[in-house]
Amino acid sequence: MSDDRLIVALDVPNALAGLQLAEQLGDAVSFYKIGLGMLTGGGLALADELKREHGKRIFLDMKLFDIGATIEAAVRGLAQYDLDFLTVHGDPHVVRAAKEGASGKPLKILAVTILTSLDRADLDAGLIRAGDIPDLVAERAGRAFEAGADGVIASPQEAAMIRALPTAAGKLIVTPGVRPVGAALGDQKRVATPAEAIADGADHIVVGRPIWAADNPEAAATAILDELRNPQAGLSQ
Ligand code: C5P
pLDDT of res. 77: 97
**Ligand 1: nearest atom to the Cα of 179:** 3
Helices 133-146, 156-163: inter-axial angle, 10-degree rounding = 50
pLDDT-wise least confident of 55-59, 94-98, 104-108, 113-117: 113-117
The pTM score is 0.94
Residue 236 has pLDDT above 60, yes or no: no
Give per-residue pLDDT as tens, 75-92: 999 999 999 999 999 999
**Residue 66 falls in the annotated catalytic set:** yes
To the question of whether residue 87 is assigned a binding role by annotation, the answer is no
Give per-residue pLDDT as tens, 31-64: 999 999 998 999 999 999 999 999 999 999 999 9
Contact between residue 123 and residue 150 where contact means Cβ atoms under 8 Å apart: no
pLDDT of res. 191: 82
What residue owns the CA closest to ligand 1's atom 8? 176
To the question of whether residue 69 is assigned a binding role by annotation, the answer is yes
pLDDT of res. 232: 76
Pairwise pLDDT comparison (236 vs 59), residue with the higher score = 59
Choose which residue among 6, 8, 63, 116 to substitute to test ligand 1 binding: the one with the highest number of ligand atoms within 8 A of its C-beta.
116
3-state secondary structure of 152: strand
Calculate mean pLDDT across residues 106-117: 93
What residue owns the CA closest to ligand 1's atom 14? 176
Domains of the chain plus CATH, in order, are: 6-229 (3.20.20.70)
Q: Is 206 in the pocket of ligand 1 (CB under 6 A)?
A: yes
Q: Is 11 in the pocket of ligand 1 (CB under 6 A)?
A: yes
Choose which residue among 61, 88, 118 to substitute to test ligand 1 binding: the one with the highest number of ligand atoms within 8 A of its C-beta.
61
Give per-residue pLDDT as tens, 154-195: 999 899 999 999 999 999 999 998 998 877 777 777 789 999
Q: Is 112 in the pocket of ligand 1 (CB under 6 A)?
A: yes
pLDDT of res. 183: 77
Calculate mean pLDDT across residues 145-158: 95
Which is the catalytic residue, given 3, 48, 51, 63? 63
Closest-CA residue to 221 (of 172, 170, 183): 183
Residue 231 has pLDDT above 70, yes or no: yes
* Confidence band of 235 (pLDDT split at 50, 70, 90): low
Which is the catalytic residue, given 3, 48, 66, 82? 66
What residue owns the CA closest to ligand 1's atom 12? 35
